[in-house]
A = this chain, B = another copy of it.
Amino acid sequence: MESRTEISSLGEFGLIEHLTKNIEFKNASTLLGVGDDGAVIDHFGRQTVFSTDLLIEGIHFDLSYTPLKHLGYKSIVVNLSDIYAMNAVPTQILLNIGFSNRFSVESLDEFYAGVYAACNEYNVDLVGGDTSSSQKGFIVSVTAIGEVAPDSFVKRNTAKPNDLICVSGELGSAFLGLTLLEREKRIFEETGAQPDLEGQAHIVGRLLKPEARKDIIEYFSESGIIPTSMIDVSDGLSSDILHICKQSKTGCVLYEDKFPFNDEAKEFAYKLQLDPTACALSGGEDYELLFTVAQNDFEKIKSNPAISIIGYMTDEAEGKHLITRGGNKHELIAQGWNHAIK
């Protein structure tokens, strides 16, 4: 039987000590971490980027199919993704967690194992945080800190008409993973049948253990690209490109036949009679980078197989549209797309 240590046996300060005792700093800018009123960071000559997120059990994640270790990993990665989406390099994180008395020290250890795995993978230091009891469920709040060379950060409101719209990796797979897990959970609850995830490791992994696109930011730096705007795809391609259009005061045209899909994911979508394009536009949680570049960066972008060019920006007056494989033009809306225009 697994051992269960009550959190109350450690006390609040004992718990923080227990959870953070093996931290070793990876960044020279980290001067002081957990164990004081604050952490101290030295950022001489760089600019500092911050991002923060709140994740709540039952709203953002379901522990019936999310291992705590994966949740720890993902909680960090989704925040690092925001830092990369600023064209910055993450360096430190702060982590607050709240938990009801159904959680043991062992379960928090699992969660932190995931947190530390992400810190190692992305070379960031955990420098502070708070632990607290909650009335209900598990609550995670992460603040990520990153560095960027002076005035190289990339915003959402600086795209220009004729810029190319690009996206990294693949779209829609995490949503398909979620659909599969929700379906298997329902079947389990109704019939007691064990989940059948056979052959679906890819889409389940995309949901439960996403990665942030560190490699794309490194590629930008190596090849001298500064995107004209950037966002990470967390709410679905449609919602996220509309953020860029709204803030940049532009329109856009997306081409369905340019959307990047994973073959296994596409096959699973058809099996469920879901449209992969709909999954890409409305699904969310892909944590890919969606960005625009000037046309003269075309050759540089084209030579990276991890990047797809999926459209271009237009004047605001031209609206926001999707051109389907069949050549039809649809208006993009936050939830996907609207009735055919032509």
Complex interface: chain B residues within 8 A of A150 (CB):
42
A43-B48, A96-B141, A153-B32 as given contacts; A133 in contact with B38, CB under 8 Å:
no
Chain B residues contacting A36 (CB-CB under 8 Å) are 86, 155-157
In whole angstroms, what is the CA distance A13 to B143 when docked? 19
Contact with B along A117-155 (1 / 0, CB 8 A): 000000000011111111111010101111010100101
Interface of A is mostly: strand
Contact B50 A132 (CB under 8 A): no
A251 to B92: give the CA distance in the assembly, Å.
Answer: 34
| 9-residue interface stretch from A54-62, A163-171, A267-275 | A54-62
With contacts A32-B153, A38-B49 known, is A56 near B86, CB below 8 A?
A: no
| A133 to B142 Cα, complex, angstroms | 16
A53 to B97, CA, bound (A): 9
Give the interface centre of A35, A36, A96 by most chain B CB atoms within 10 Å: A36
Select one of B43, B53, B57 contacting A135, CB under 8 A. B57
What's the Cα separation between A230 and B133 when bound, in Å? Answer: 26
**List of B residues within 8 angstroms of A94 by Cβ:** 50, 52, 143
Q: Tell me whether A130 and B53 are in contact in the complex, defined as CB-CB below 8 angstroms, given that A35-B247, A47-B40 are known contacts.
A: yes
The size of the chain A interface, using a CB distance under 8 A, is 67
Partner of A51 from B38, B48, B86 at Cβ < 8 Å: B38
Contacts of A230 in B (CB 8 A): 37
Alpha-carbon separation in the docked complex, A327 to B139 (Å): 48
Q: A residues 21-78 with Cβ under 8 Å of B? A: 31-32, 35-45, 47-60
- Name, among A136, A148, A232, the residue most crowded by chain B CB atoms within 10 Å (CB to CB): A136
CB-CB contacts of A79-93 with B at 8 A, as 1s and 0s? 001110110100010
- A98 at interface (Cβ–Cβ under 8 A)? yes
A231 at the interface (CB under 8 A from B): yes
Q: How far is the CB of A174 from chain B (nearest CB, A)?
A: 18
Specify which of B53, B58, B98, B153 is in contact with A54 (CB 8 Å cutoff): B98
Residue of B nearest to A42 (CB): B47
* In the bound complex, CA of A157 to CA of B32 (Å): 12
> Counting chain B CB atoms within 10 Å of each CB, which of A59, A98, A141 scores highest?
A141
Given the known inter-chain contacts A32-B155, A43-B43, please indicate yes or no for A38 contacting B88, CB distance below 8 A.
Answer: yes
| A244–chain B nearest beta-carbon distance, Å | 10
- With a CB–CB cut-off of 8 A, which chain B residues contact A58? 135
Docked CA distance A169–B314 (Å)? 61
Interface centre among A40, A83, A156 (most CB of B within 10 A): A40
Judging by beta carbons under 8 Å apart, are B40 and A128 in contact?
A: no
A contacts, CB < 8 Å to B: 13, 31-32, 35-45, 47-60, 81-83, 85-86, 88, 92, 94, 96-98, 127-137, 139, 141, 143-146, 148, 150, 153, 155-157, 230-232, 243, 247
Which 10 residue pairs across A and B have the least CB separation, nearest first?
Answer: A141-B141, A54-B96, A37-B85, A38-B51, A37-B82, A143-B143, A41-B48, A38-B49, A52-B94, A38-B86
16 A-B residue pairs with CB within 8 Å: A35-B156, A36-B155, A38-B85, A40-B50, A42-B150, A44-B44, A50-B94, A50-B145, A52-B96, A53-B96, A54-B96, A54-B131, A56-B98, A136-B136, A136-B137, A139-B139
